[in-house]
Structure 1
């Protein structure tokens, strides 16, 4: 990975944060690396991928006719959210014409059943994910993550010099929580993404609860539920009330179609929120555009529309999987808006290049599976375009 954060940064960590980092085993030379993470917070908030964490992965080609490579939603925000955001634009001359942040938190409370002080909205989910790693990992207390999974947690840990242990998924593509605990019984943070990115598979709530109850005192479990609305399975939000060492992460970039609006939130014990905010005084958490807040608040409670969007995705996904199987291709069973396709003897990068000749941008591969590509489930039209392109480029 190109080291793009070697230039000095203007951000100075608060004394409390510096003291905490030094106490946990980092040295003063490391402080600039931490400051760099928060110094690029604006980049993370606008692109969802901080430059230091990108590892050279290109964004989907904007010119492609069919863009199913970035796990974006195929359409924009739900209509109640669009209406609320539009109305808020007229009042954007005020820093806060009402208590928009409070209204959002109350909506989360109503849906998730968590107390007010256990919710913190954020511009997207990349920033709080990195903050969790920084807050709970150290040179002696590392990160444990799955392989393959969303890489930002691992890249953040590597950037700050914390050890990283990557544990392969189980044969049925769950997080192997017992192996995760065994590989590092003294980790600072255990990261679980469910539904998992890139496989779209579920780690059962019972497995997550086992890890919470058996992990060491003082370590944290972070459950990333970015894709949970696509799955319709039990969620982990109740654990943040019964356990002080659990963080649940959500984003509006997926089923809610708000990737460009940068909106997310965490649920956890208020002491954890305070700890995660101290590196820059919570500036990123406070930097919430009012139209985004209004859109998210109105979208959360639109249950019928959420269910309809989920059903639309499932129909397009089913058609696509049937077509792939008819062509003799293997796919990972999925509960989310993504499909992992095994190209057998062909490198995933080679297949991706072939699809680009048909103006179809598919997703990338993960090092552990070099012949497997992830595609995002788009609209039915998107997926029909993908299937037509597949018939042109794929020769078994």
Structure 2
């Protein structure tokens, strides 16, 4: 299946009505014609993965692969790889719905979360309706918006490192999308659901609160899917790249009122998620309901993270409170220099953000990997 390279009359009329120029419409076509490649290009650079022998704790990946039931289901599905996706999609939607307490009609499967995020920005933002994000946060929504010529407002996090929803609304009272990532990447901190509810209740009609919960399974906080079940103007994004250990298998989901996502499908005439591989779908389906294994993996990460944070505390190294499989460390010196020093110790840590040039994002790896990180902290006298 290949992407269409022309717009329907309905889609063209919609884009024109919302203020897109001919050039902007051309960018819509390019965005969805090469969505996977362009999404990677627009996203911030990840840690290079090709270095052999490196301890890789810089890209927020899980330290291990899929949960055992998911891996077994995926392996069995390879034998049916000659068939297109069929009942597997329905089974996936039902599994998500059963866990999240939403109707199956509110669930859509995607090859990761970048594709639906791009569609949501194009659909609900425009040259006349901007995007509001926290600063710092995951940059893909901002990158897509800027590529499309959409105004972006960036609002600093609060003192507790949650999203300042009142300041976000004040920054652009007529925005098309208010993006909230919780736990936030890179701060690993939560935004309270009452704050999210306030934003939904007070935002302008027709705009969307985009709730990115990529790391929610690493936290014991309540997920926000219940907001979608109430048919509010909110779209919840999920990915299986994190706790479920499926970053290379590309599986994600949106949870939202069906009409909100239907609007995003007007620009290429195809539902890109039809191309999802069966092994990924069945792996996700088999993993979702394994509450005991999910808790065990979360507990393992928390135990390893706690040990490293205790070392940082002992050495007087500041870090933010973490609710995800990563944490932000303030070295009190240029983070790029520290990153280079770790690389010389064969450890690839995460990057910094422009607003926080002395802070590095550190992914929580395995116990062995974090022991290597801890030893390097001591050796480098940080």
| Paired position in structure 2 for 1:374 | 361
| Paired position in structure 1 for 2:163 | 175
Unaligned runs of at least 5 residues, structure 2: none
Match of 1:114 among 102, 106, 119: 102
Maintained 8 Å contact 1:201/1:335: yes
Kindly state the Cα deviation for residue 58 of structure 1 after the two structures are TM-superposed.
4.9
TM-score, with length taken from structure 2: 0.96
| Paired position in structure 1 for 2:79 | 90
SS at match of 1:62: coil
| Paired position in structure 1 for 2:263 | 275
Kindly state the Cα deviation for residue 364 of structure 1 after the two structures are TM-superposed.
0.3
Match of 2:208 among 220, 227, 232: 220
| Paired position in structure 1 for 2:129 | 141
| Paired position in structure 2 for 1:3 | none
Match of 1:342 among 315, 318, 330: 330
Kindly state the Cα deviation for residue 65 of structure 1 after the two structures are TM-superposed.
2.3
Unaligned runs of at least 5 residues, structure 1: 1-8
Kindly state the Cα deviation for residue 40 of structure 1 after the two structures are TM-superposed.
2.2
Kindly state the Cα deviation for residue 55 of structure 1 after the two structures are TM-superposed.
4.8
Aligned pairs, how many?
380
CA–CA separation in structure 2 for the residues paired with 1:56 and 1:173:
24
| Paired position in structure 2 for 1:392 | 379
Match of 2:21 among 14, 18, 27: 27
Kindly state the Cα deviation for residue 299 of structure 1 after the two structures are TM-superposed.
0.3
Match of 1:192 among 172, 180, 195: 180
CA–CA separation in structure 2 for the residues paired with 1:64 and 1:143:
41
| Paired position in structure 2 for 1:42 | 36
Deviations 1:329-384 (A, max 9, x none): 1000011111100011x111111011000110000001000000001001111100
CA–CA separation in structure 2 for the residues paired with 1:286 and 1:273:
15
CA–CA separation in structure 1 for the residues paired with 2:261 and 2:232:
11
Match of 2:275 among 280, 283, 287: 287
Maintained 8 Å contact 1:230/1:337: yes
Kindly state the Cα deviation for residue 117 of structure 1 after the two structures are TM-superposed.
1.4
Maintained 8 Å contact 2:33/2:268: no
Change (3 A) 1:141 1:107: same
CA–CA separation in structure 2 for the residues paired with 1:247 and 1:305:
27
Kindly state the Cα deviation for residue 321 of structure 1 after the two structures are TM-superposed.
0.4
Give 1:46-57 correspondences, 5 Å limit: 49-51=39-41, 53-55=42-44
CA–CA separation in structure 2 for the residues paired with 1:54 and 1:180:
22
| Paired position in structure 1 for 2:349 | 362
Q: How big is the alpha-carbon RMSD for the aligned residues of Structure 1 and Structure 2?
A: 1.5
CA–CA separation in structure 2 for the residues paired with 1:246 and 1:64:
43
Deviations 1:110-148 (A, max 9, x none): 101111211110000011111111110011110000001
Maintained 8 Å contact 2:352/2:359: yes
SS at match of 2:218: helix
| Paired position in structure 2 for 1:4 | none
Kindly state the Cα deviation for residue 17 of structure 1 after the two structures are TM-superposed.
2.0
TM-score, with length taken from structure 1: 0.93
Q: Is residue 12 from structure 1 mapped to residue 18 from structure 2 by the alignment?
A: no
CA–CA separation in structure 2 for the residues paired with 1:137 and 1:199:
25
CA–CA separation in structure 1 for the residues paired with 2:255 and 2:4:
30
